[in-house]
Structure 1
Amino acid sequence: MVREIAVRLLHPGAQLPVRQLAGDAGADLVLIEHLTLCPGSRGIGHTGLAVELAPGTMGLVVPRSGLALRSGVTVLNAPGLIDEGYRGEVGVLLVNFGENTVELVPGDRVAQLVVVPYVDVEYVARTELTETERGAGGFGHTGHR
């Protein structure tokens, strides 16, 4: 089932998110402004668009693997979260983990938007939690391999 997502173009260069192939979960987000990222630096990639997500859904801004492989540029807070009630510009927090300065230009695909449902929960304080096999075992508790 396909659901429509309303998108407001805030800038003349803004582009609707686009899936490259049928069945792709992510739709590409495109820059509207030039962005220079020196090695180790970060910056906001402006998309010039705002979205109206359906109730019970959230948008996840995730990296494009090809960009990360080619240049070392990825989404710093991956995944970035867009709450259903947010109506401002979708920005992409990018970081350059590569060894070279990367010049991104308007029209470059820099991230993907994935819209997913979420569970509406209420957090309740309890003095005890149910027991499980794992219990409080944390990072690496099952071994190194």
Structure 2
Amino acid sequence: MCFETTASNTGSRSGACLLIEQQLGRDLLNVACRHHVLELIAAKAYAVCLNTPSSGPQILLFTRFQDKWDLIDQDQHEIMPDDHLTEAIRDSRNNLIAGLKLHLSQFQPRDDYCELLELSVIVLGEMPARGIRFRRPEAPHLAR
């Protein structure tokens, strides 16, 4: 059974997945939607890094970012130099970037796959072939 990872689906007492299994009288293979699993991981990382778990459907930091989007100069950006990296780390980073660029040169079935690859290249200090493009943030609430 494939499902989104909301509490209404995954709840341990009255989640839809549990109720379906009870109605069928047997366990089913549960496959959580990869997009929503990654949201759970990102939410946990956010809570740990900022020491502020979200208590509502909105994440205030992301809401503020979205509100100020039009004030951000999206033409001004620079790639950080890698002077502080050791040779071994620089070699590993360059190998990773080469692999990411290889995957970018191949067909990707979804735009978000390309976006993840391009963002990874940027974070590692290189410029993707299509350059740096910023996309307006989507809805910042946890249900998204």
Normalising by structure 2, we get a TM-score of 0.21
Q: Which structure features the higher share of helix residues?
A: 2
Greater Rg over alpha carbons, structure: 2
Q: TM-score, normalised by structure 1?
A: 0.21
